[in-house]
């Protein structure tokens, strides 16, 4: 088996491709973060970058398809001027043997649109705008800036023999933050991707992707800068990484990831805690924590969704019960009035009529049809209930907003309950 893996590595080293000039441009941040848990952390990270630190670098968030990123989640990213990138679509153009997890990191860095990339794990808390890292001496000198881990990679590690490299003891790499100039390190990126494509083998003696970056640079014979200041740790919850002057720069919450619901892991040296919790509160007001993808709909149903989201605020009226304020947000989300039986919504068309469907986490619960008085009637669902625009005007008289917002900061509405 070892011989086969060595042969594959030798073949890859012999077939490295030249840098595709003109394919990439500029500086930017890449964050691999598909699925609700990582998205929650990525949102906090991006909120800190954009709102707290004023970072203006372009940002890409990479994920695997609609199972990991819903239209609502993409909309929330666009409102923070962030692009969601579907790795499944990228793989169709640039195939690789990856499907999830750590192997996505070198692939996303390699095929992001940027030439100079700062890649951040989603569970990072930057203490300032990291844009100045692109101008630091270490990155300028080599085009590859790496941060050390608290542990060493030992001379006895089988990785050295597996790669036919001289055994040595040196600081292991902590890959929660990596900077690469792709123009200068295209060969090493191809090698790093290969090592991660062989994750079932190399991860047996490496912890995920982190030291594959070091091995790739050594195998490609390319220079790199390893920051001299080791992190300090709140073991096992957080690594505090530094800049070249030794000042704290990133808090990598490896064992204290932000939770959409429930109590957070408290850290003794946590920075920007209040700002992070405010980001979480903003996220909860706008998103219920689910990856909701509405079923295929007709153009007429989508037009009805645009009109309803343009109205936004409704009253859910049930005889004998308290009237509930209900907010229908763009991309199938419910804001105010969200409850276990009111998690997401969409419209559908059947038999020439449009139905407003309100769902719990698993299936439809309410089906409303337009009524003659301008309200929406749920009697077809076997229960007496109505939706009416909150200001009392019939739905037909309400102004529609057909275009989704795509940029700018979100201002939380204090009337919307988490």
Residue 373: what pLDDT? 86
Residue 413 lies in a domain: no
CA dist 71 and 380 (Å) reads 28
3-state secondary structure of 199: helix
Q: Are residues 200 and 69 in the same domain?
A: yes
Burial class (CB in 10 A: 0-12, 13-18, 19+), 157: middle
Q: Are residues 325 and 270 in the same domain?
A: no
Residue 1: what pLDDT? 57
Domain encompassing residue 309: 299-397
Residue 408: what pLDDT? 33
Residue 126 lies in a domain: yes
User: Which residue, of 256, 284, 312, is where some domain finishes?
Assistant: 284
Q: Are residues 256 and 391 in the same domain?
A: no
Nearest Cα neighbor of 329 from 348, 347, 349, 306 is 306
Q: Are residues 149 and 190 in the same domain?
A: yes
Q: Are residues 94 and 182 in the same domain?
A: yes
Residue 412 lies in a domain: no
CATH number at residue 199: 3.90.550
Query: DSSP character for 49?
Result: I
Residue 165 lies in a domain: yes
Q: Are residues 77 and 118 in the same domain?
A: yes
Residue 418 lies in a domain: no
Residue 149 lies in a domain: yes
Q: Are residues 153 and 248 in the same domain?
A: yes
Residue 297: what pLDDT? 96
Q: Are residues 7 and 149 in the same domain?
A: yes
Phi, psi of 60 (to 5 degrees): -120, 135
Can you give the C-alpha Rg of the chain in angstroms? 25
Residue 403: what pLDDT? 32
User: Which residue, of 243, 259, 284, is where some domain finishes?
Assistant: 284
pTM of the full predicted structure? 0.91
Q: Are residues 276 and 306 in the same domain?
A: no
Nearest Cα neighbor of 121 from 141, 137, 101 is 101
If phi > 0 it is left, if psi is from -120 to 50 it is alpha, else beta; for residue 140 that is alpha
Q: Are residues 365 and 339 in contact, defined by beta-carbon separation less than 8 angstroms?
A: no
CA dist 32 and 62 (Å) reads 5
Q: Are residues 109 and 178 in contact, defined by beta-carbon separation less than 8 angstroms?
A: yes
Nearest Cα neighbor of 206 from 168, 238, 174 is 174
Residue 403 lies in a domain: no
Please give the distance of CA 27 from its chain centroid, rounded to a whole number.
19
Q: Are residues 233 and 178 in the same domain?
A: yes
Q: Are residues 244 and 389 in the same domain?
A: no
Handedness of CA 370, 373, 379, 385 (dihedral sign): positive
Domain count, the chain: 2
Output the tens digit of pLDDT for each of the chain's 418 residues: 577 999 999 999 999 999 999 999 999 999 999 999 999 999 999 999 999 999 999 999 999 999 999 999 999 999 999 999 999 999 999 999 998 899 999 999 999 999 999 999 999 999 999 999 999 999 999 999 999 999 999 999 999 999 999 999 999 999 999 999 999 999 999 999 999 999 999 999 999 999 999 999 999 999 999 999 999 998 889 999 999 999 999 999 999 999 999 999 999 999 999 999 999 999 999 999 999 999 999 999 999 999 999 999 999 999 999 999 999 999 999 999 999 999 999 999 988 899 999 999 999 999 999 998 889 999 877 778 999 999 755 443 333 333 322 333 323 333 222 2
Residue 392: what pLDDT? 56
């Amino acid at each position: 088996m070892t011989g086969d893996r060595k042969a594959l590595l030798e073949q890859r080293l012999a077939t490295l491709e030249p840098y595709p000039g003109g394919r990439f441009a500029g500086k930017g941040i890449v964050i691999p973060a598909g699925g609700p848990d990582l998205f929650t952390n990525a949102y906090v990270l991006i909120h800190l970058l954009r709102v707290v630190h004023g970072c203006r670098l372009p940002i890409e968030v990479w994920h695997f398809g609609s199972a990991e990123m819903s239209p609502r989640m993409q909309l929330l990213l666009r409102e923070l001027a962030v692009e969601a990138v579907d790795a499944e679509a990228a793989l169709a153009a640039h195939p690789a043997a990856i499907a999830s997890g750590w192997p996505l990191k070198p692939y996303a860095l390699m095929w992001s649109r940027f030439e100079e990339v700062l890649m951040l794990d989603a569970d990072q808390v930057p203490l300032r705008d990291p844009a100045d890292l692109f101008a630091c001496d270490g990155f300028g000198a080599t085009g590859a800036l790496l941060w050390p881990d608290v542990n060493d990679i030992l001379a006895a590690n089988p990785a050295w023999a597996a790669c036919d490299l001289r055994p040595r003891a040196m600081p292991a790499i902590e890959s929660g933050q990596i900077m690469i100039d792709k123009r200068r390190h295209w060969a090493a990126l191809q090698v790093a991707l290969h090592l991660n494509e062989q994750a079932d083998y190399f991860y047996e003696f490496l912890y995920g992707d982190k030291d594959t970056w070091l091995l790739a640079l050594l195998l490609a014979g390319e220079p790199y800068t390893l920051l001299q200041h080791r992190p300090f740790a709140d073991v096992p919850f957080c690594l505090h990484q530094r800049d070249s002057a030794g000042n704290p720069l990133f808090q990598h919450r490896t064992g204290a990831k932000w939770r959409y619901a429930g109590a957070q892991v408290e850290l003794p040296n946590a920075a920007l805690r209040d700002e992070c919790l405010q980001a979480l509160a903003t996220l909860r007001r706008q998103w219920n924590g689910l990856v909701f993808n509405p079923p295929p709909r007709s153009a007429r149903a989508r037009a009805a969704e645009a009109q309803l989201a343009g109205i936004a605020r409704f009253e859910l009226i049930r005889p004998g019960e308290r009237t509930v304020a209900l907010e229908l947000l763009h991309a199938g989300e419910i804001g105010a009035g969200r409850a276990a039986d009111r998690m997401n919504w969409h419209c559908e068309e059947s038999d020439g009529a449009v139905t407003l469907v309100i769902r719990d986490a698993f299936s439809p619960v309410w089906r409303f049809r337009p009524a003659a008085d301008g309200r929406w009637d749920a009697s077809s669902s076997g229960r007496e209930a109505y939706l009416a625009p909150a200001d009392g005007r019939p739905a037909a008289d309400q102004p529609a907003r057909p275009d989704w917002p795509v940029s700018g900061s979100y201002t939380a509405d204090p009337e919307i309950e988490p």
